[in-house]
Protein backbone atom coordinates (compact mmCIF):
# COMPACT_ATOMS: atom_id res chain seq x y z
CA UNK A 1 0.00 0.00 0.00
CA UNK A 2 1.43 3.42 -0.94
CA UNK A 3 1.60 6.29 1.49
CA UNK A 4 -1.17 8.07 -0.41
CA UNK A 5 -3.42 5.06 -0.16
CA UNK A 6 -2.77 4.79 3.55
CA UNK A 7 -3.48 8.50 3.97
CA UNK A 8 -6.81 8.21 2.16
CA UNK A 9 -7.90 5.34 4.41
CA UNK A 10 -6.69 7.10 7.55
CA UNK A 11 -8.51 10.23 6.47
CA UNK A 12 -11.78 8.36 6.08
CA UNK A 13 -11.41 6.76 9.50
CA UNK A 14 -10.74 10.15 11.10
CA UNK A 15 -13.72 11.70 9.33
CA UNK A 16 -15.91 8.96 10.82
CA UNK A 17 -14.32 8.91 14.27
CA UNK A 18 -14.17 12.65 14.83
CA UNK A 19 -17.13 13.83 12.73
CA UNK A 20 -14.92 16.31 10.87
CA UNK A 21 -14.93 17.34 7.21
CA UNK A 22 -12.61 15.58 4.83
CA UNK A 23 -10.75 18.77 3.93
CA UNK A 24 -9.92 19.40 7.58
CA UNK A 25 -7.92 16.17 7.70
CA UNK A 26 -4.63 17.35 6.23
CA UNK A 27 -1.31 15.60 6.91
CA UNK A 28 -0.28 18.40 9.26
CA UNK A 29 -3.56 18.56 11.19
CA UNK A 30 -3.12 17.95 14.92
CA UNK A 31 -5.67 15.54 16.35
CA UNK A 32 -6.30 17.59 19.48
CA UNK A 33 -5.42 21.13 18.43
CA UNK A 34 -7.06 21.09 15.00
CA UNK A 35 -9.51 18.18 14.95
CA UNK A 36 -10.73 18.51 18.56
CA UNK A 37 -10.08 14.89 19.50
CA UNK A 38 -10.85 13.99 23.11
CA UNK A 39 -9.30 11.15 25.05
CA UNK A 40 -12.00 8.63 24.12
CA UNK A 41 -11.50 9.57 20.45
CA UNK A 42 -7.93 8.26 20.58
CA UNK A 43 -9.25 4.85 21.61
CA UNK A 44 -11.82 5.04 18.85
CA UNK A 45 -9.13 5.86 16.29
CA UNK A 46 -7.02 2.90 17.46
CA UNK A 47 -10.04 0.63 17.16
CA UNK A 48 -10.81 1.84 13.64
CA UNK A 49 -7.22 1.58 12.42
CA UNK A 50 -7.01 -1.99 13.70
CA UNK A 51 -10.13 -2.87 11.80
CA UNK A 52 -9.28 -0.96 8.61
CA UNK A 53 -5.71 -2.19 8.26
CA UNK A 54 -5.96 -5.55 9.99
CA UNK A 55 -3.21 -4.65 12.43
CA UNK A 56 -2.91 -5.01 16.19
CA UNK A 57 -2.08 -1.82 18.06
CA UNK A 58 -0.93 -2.37 21.62
CA UNK A 59 -2.11 -0.05 24.31
CA UNK A 60 0.15 3.00 24.52
CA UNK A 61 1.88 2.16 21.28
CA UNK A 62 0.43 4.68 18.85
CA UNK A 63 -0.63 7.30 21.39
CA UNK A 64 1.56 6.67 24.43
CA UNK A 65 -0.14 9.34 26.51
CA UNK A 66 1.12 8.02 29.82
CA UNK A 67 4.83 7.90 28.99
CA UNK A 68 5.70 10.78 31.24
CA UNK A 69 2.94 10.87 33.78
CA UNK A 70 4.41 11.82 37.13
CA UNK A 71 7.97 10.86 36.24
CA UNK A 72 10.45 13.60 37.30
CA UNK A 73 13.22 12.00 35.21
CA UNK A 74 11.27 12.74 32.06
CA UNK A 75 9.71 16.11 32.81
CA UNK A 76 11.25 18.94 34.81
CA UNK A 77 9.88 22.46 35.18
CA UNK A 78 7.34 21.79 32.48
CA UNK A 79 9.96 20.72 29.95
CA UNK A 80 10.71 17.26 28.64
CA UNK A 81 14.29 16.33 29.69
CA UNK A 82 16.95 14.81 27.47
CA UNK A 83 16.11 11.46 28.97
CA UNK A 84 12.45 12.07 28.21
CA UNK A 85 13.25 12.95 24.59
CA UNK A 86 15.26 9.79 24.22
CA UNK A 87 12.36 7.80 25.66
CA UNK A 88 10.01 9.49 23.18
CA UNK A 89 12.25 8.48 20.28
CA UNK A 90 12.26 4.89 21.45
CA UNK A 91 8.53 4.72 21.99
CA UNK A 92 7.49 6.77 18.98
CA UNK A 93 10.08 6.16 16.25
CA UNK A 94 7.53 7.27 13.68
CA UNK A 95 7.08 10.74 15.23
CA UNK A 96 8.68 13.89 13.80
CA UNK A 97 10.46 15.18 16.86
CA UNK A 98 12.75 17.80 15.33
CA UNK A 99 10.44 20.77 15.90
CA UNK A 100 9.43 19.59 19.37
CA UNK A 101 13.05 19.13 20.45
CA UNK A 102 13.75 22.81 19.90
CA UNK A 103 11.11 23.76 22.43
CA UNK A 104 10.17 20.65 24.41
CA UNK A 105 7.38 22.14 26.48
CA UNK A 106 5.44 19.26 28.00
CA UNK A 107 2.14 20.97 27.34
CA UNK A 108 2.90 20.92 23.61
CA UNK A 109 3.35 17.18 23.50
CA UNK A 110 -0.13 16.77 22.07
CA UNK A 111 1.05 18.59 18.95
CA UNK A 112 3.08 15.51 18.03
CA UNK A 113 -0.11 13.62 17.35
CA UNK A 114 -0.79 14.60 13.77
CA UNK A 115 -2.52 12.87 10.89
CA UNK A 116 0.87 12.36 9.31
CA UNK A 117 2.07 10.56 12.44
CA UNK A 118 -0.73 8.05 12.11
CA UNK A 119 0.08 7.49 8.45
CA UNK A 120 3.76 6.86 9.20
CA UNK A 121 2.82 4.61 12.09
CA UNK A 122 0.50 2.51 9.93
CA UNK A 123 3.17 2.36 7.24
CA UNK A 124 5.70 1.04 9.76
CA UNK A 125 3.20 -1.54 11.02
CA UNK A 126 2.42 -2.77 7.54
CA UNK A 127 6.16 -3.09 6.94
Partner 1 sequence: MLLKDQVAIVTGGSRGIGRAVVEALAREGAKVAFVYKGSEQAAKDLEAHVASAGGTAKAYQGDVADPEAAKRIVAGVLADWGRVDILVNNAGVIRDGLFVRMEPDAWRTVLSTNLDGAFYFCRAVADQMVFKQRSGRIVNVSSVAAEHTNPGQTNYAASKGAVNAFTRALATEVGGRGVTVNAVAPGFIETDMSEAVRNKAGDLIKKAVPLKRLGKPEDIAGVVLFLCSPAAAYVTGQVITVDGGLSLGAAVA
Q: Which parts of this chain interact with partner 1 (CB under 8 A)?
A: 38, 40, 43-44, 47-48
Shortest CB 116 distance to partner 1, Å: 24
Rounded Cα distance, 79 and 100, in Å? 11
Question: What's the DSSP call for residue 30?
Answer: B
Taking the complex as a whole, the smallest distance from the CB of residue 38 to partner 1 amounts, in Å, to 7
29: which DSSP letter? -
First vs last Cα of the chain: how many Å apart? 10
- In the complex, the smallest distance separating the C-beta of residue 85 from partner 1, rounded to whole angstroms, is 32
Amino acid sequence: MTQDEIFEKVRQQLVDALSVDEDEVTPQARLQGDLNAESIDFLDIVFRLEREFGIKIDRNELFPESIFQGDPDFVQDGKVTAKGLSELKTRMPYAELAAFEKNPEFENIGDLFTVDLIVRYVQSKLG
